[in-house]
Structures are given as C-alpha cells and as structure tokens.
Structure 1
Amino acid sequence: MAKVLIYGSRLCPYCRMAERLLEKKGIQAEKVMVDENSARRDEMTRRAGRTSVPQIFIGETYVGGYAELAVLERTGQLDAMLNSCERNIRDE
C-alpha cells in the first residue's frame, strides 16, 4: 500500500476531505495531528514550507494541501502517484 502522510488538525474540514478522498481509493493515510504536538507542527513547517493544514506527502513526494490533492485526482495523476509509490515500497 502506498505510504501517505497527512499533517492535519482535528477541526480542519479540508483534512477530513483529504482523508475521505484517499479512503475511497483504499488508502489509510498516517495522520499527524499538529494541533496536539508543536514539535510535529515545526516538522511539518520545515518539510512543507507552510503552516496551514493539511499538508500531504505521498511517499517522499510533497503534494501540498487538499486543493492540490483534488487537482491530482481530477487530472488522473493521483492514481499514478499512488501506484508508483506502492511499486517503490514493494521494490525496497
């Protein structure tokens, strides 16, 4: 299964929308709730260069937030990214 990481918060509707989109594809993302852990928020900011949530990574590839994830889905690129990530995990 493709490794997906979502930095989010408990009250963020866009975080929930991202999770639901991925769940429809059979992906259970690892969730890091940055409102519960300031060190993880700092980690997110360093990795993504942004302070808003969600911030989404597929494998080591930074996707962006929900809007960017939705564009990948609409253009058919999300499945390719998820499949590529899954192949890389199997090959390791």
Structure 2
Amino acid sequence: MSFDFSWMAWTWPTVIFFVVIACLLLGMGVWEYARPGGAPKVGLLRFETTRGDRLFISLLGSAFIHLGWLGLVDASLWWATGLSVIYAILVFRFV
C-alpha cells in the first residue's frame, strides 16, 4: 500500500506548524503525568480553567492573530508568531 501525499501542500512551514502542535500536546501530557491535576484556577475570565483549557485558548487566539495578520498586515508572518507566543504566555499567566 502506497500513500500519495502529492495533493497536499507540505512545505517546511506547514511541517513545522504540525510538529509544534504535536510537541505542545506531548509536553502537556508529560506535564500532566509529572504533576497530575493542575489545579484549576480562576483568572481574568472569571471562570475555572485548567492547563488544557489555557492551551486551547492560546491556540485558538494564535490562529486568529495569524489570520488577522495575513489579512491586515504586509509584514513577515514571524512577527505574528512572536505576538502569538507572547499572547500564550499571558494566557497561561493570567487566564
């Protein structure tokens, strides 16, 4: 059986994107194994969030940051990535 992925646009940025997502999920799994529970906390949104919730909020917000960047700004997409990392740090810290 042979898999033909020629129809997909597998560029290096696409591969890096999926590898980073996989590493984030793996890292969260290791973190949960090392320190189970992750005590939910109440942050700026005023409802309990767990580590997984904050990761999801970070990923969703980063997607919107990148889409907005692509639609509104002509600068390099790496700036949006840097902004997304800062956003994720703030979400994990304050949400």
Q: Same fold (TM over 0.5)?
A: no
State the TM-score, normalized to the length of structure 1. 0.30
Question: Which is higher, the Rg of structure 1 or of structure 2?
Answer: 2
Task: Name the TM-score, length of structure 2 as normaliser.
Answer: 0.30
Answer 1 or 2: which has greater helix percent.
Answer: 2
Structure with larger RCO (C-alpha < 8 A, sep 6+): 1
